[in-house]
Structure 1
Amino acid sequence: MAGALDGLLVVALEQAVAAPLCTRQLADGGARVIKLERAGGETARHYDTTVHGASAYFAWLNRGKQSVVIDVKDAGDRAMVERMVGKADVFIQNLAPGAAARLGLDAAALVEVHPRLIAVDICGYGQSTAAHAMRAYDMLVQAEAGICAVTGTPEAMAKVGVSIADIATGMNAHAAILEALIGRGRTGQGAAIEIAMFDTMADWMAVPLLHLEHAGRVTGRHGLEHAAIYPYAAYACLDGSLMISIQSPDEWRRFCAGVLGDAALADDPRFATNPDRVESRETLGRIVGDVLAAMTIADASALLDRHRIAWGRVSTVADVSAHAALRRVPAEVGGEAFDLPRPPGRSGALPTTIPALDANGADLRCEFGAG
């Protein structure tokens, strides 16, 4: 598919989520992506058979790619990989710790041989740190990075319900590659890049860390409430729940007068500022909750709109599937059609085909197999 990255060749020794998400973004942008897979296929092919026999993760992350089965320890296959890399603009890998380096396929080694190459190592933990050898999967990194410590209820920690460590790492890798491509356009030089999952989640933990290190304040777990802003929480209505967000003093005054029906509440010393409201969240929560509990979602949302207060439904997955804002793109796997959510920022046609294992093996061996 033509796009901003049309003509770029990306070679990916990838598995699971983080690297495949990055290369899917590149494929959506028009790059040619060659996915190197081991015999039997990469990890995510085998998670389930939800989408016409393909796993949901694989169907989500691999449209528009070419697949070839490769044994990188076989001399002939290794020579073919090296020919691919010699022609590639980008090489990305997310093997287990140390595996790529043992194969001579780590970013630093490849860029030394191919100075124009942009080579990316996705790893769990920074390879210059004492944690470099730790194996890393999404939920493990969420736990290690403290995400679970600030997620859940006061009684129990929870992970985030989607693979945020993997997803955010893949998006960071995508951004780093685009920056490196711009840099190469100016200097002619490629780059060796490391993107660590822990670094990604630690960056997301900056606010709790700053609160702890500069104010001695431990960020609590508040379920469907914001830890540092209030009211910013879910409240039960007669037929479901609404999330309400008060972000400014003006919003707080409008909320008190127009929604709660008590303008004087805005100047109550317990609630006058956001820190006051956070401190008194239990008392204020009961006041807000009692008002909304008598309303339907339709009535409450209309009232909130009238007074310019932000709100959102607490949706189920079924609600999201039917949501008016959900935009979709077509895809197909094994000749069967299905839909995916449209990635943000994309407006034109996107690649659609999810490759079968080794679907392009014969053609790629013909293209790159001869010396």
Structure 2
Amino acid sequence: MKLVLVTETYPPEVNGVAMTLERLVNNLILQGHQVELVRPKQKIDDTGPAPDYPVHMVPGVPIPGYADLQFGWFSGGKLKKLWTENRPDVIHVATEGMLGLSALNIARKLGIPVVTSFHTNFHTYGDHYNYSFVANWLMAYFRWFHNRTLATFVPSQATVDDLEKYGFKNVKIFSRGVDTELFGKHRRSDELRQSWGAQNGDPVVVYVGRVAAEKNIPLTIAAYERLKKRLPKAKLVVVGDGPERAGLEKKHPEIIFAGMRRGEELAQHYASGDFFLFGSTTETFGNVLTEAMASEMIVLGYDYAAAHHHVVDGENGFKAPFKDEQAFLGSVDRLLDQEARFPEIRQNARAKAQSLSWGSIIKGYADEVAALAQLKENA
């Protein structure tokens, strides 16, 4: 199968969507498929090695508040020329912006099968960014966009159910895996822990993700403070960057802000921690939680997305009823009451992560996409 991925976010950018799409591309190539990438050029592109598959850059415009990142601009002319001369079997549009809309329109005009994926619950961000009033309009656009394709791939059954309530059709699951060779306790670093001021067995809580309003970091901090009442030597390390970082650093000088990390360095930060407290309520999946499980951390999250599917409360981690902050904070006490079982819980978390192979998940995705494309060609 020859597949073109169209996306506005991709490494060297660091976020869950970019990392997932890179896994998709790399595993499709390993499985013998031809893959090409279309995306806007970013200012940070010169910081990493060039990929060994074709990448077609399109013009971009700066994202307000994120000067180093670019939205893809309308690029219909370039895409029409590209796909007329070198026609793919299927096009996967991963983002719904101007670039994604151009790709969808041109693919339909050329009769090329198109699938999409839904990665970010933008409609749930409104309360954090003061645009709740446009949530219905936003979902109407997303519904119109995705329903013009053969299928929309999402990471969980909960997201399927959510989108179907909004009138999305042909929603299918493309789950998420975890790289247990990259993420694991073998990455633990005493030197890194010492740089955080953690001596010997001092407990370390780690948060990984965007430092942004939609991640509900104040709840993670409150959970850490609750844990610290019983474990006074505990430290909190925030791994990531974003618009809330400066304010949080000023308000909480006791917290260690490690900034953006990727690859082995990111894996080392996970493995050098002990607890992963994740208060976000806006995830479509939450790759960070399964990466923490692979790293044998004691995890706590809300009972939805990745935690709903992969955390068995009290066996390989802990979870609280969705959006119940008091229950979330109370679960910190439940967690600490199980200290004698921490070695068992950590091993169970690792075992669950080891069952989530990216290779098998992406093979299932590829088989489904190929079948959908063939049905369209035969129609």
Query: Which TM-score tier does this pair reach, normalised by the shorter chain?
Result: 0.3 to 0.5
Higher helix share: 2
Taking structure 2 as the reference length, the TM-score comes to: 0.35
Higher relative contact order (CA closer than 8 Å, sequence separation 6+) = 1
Higher gyration radius (CA): 1
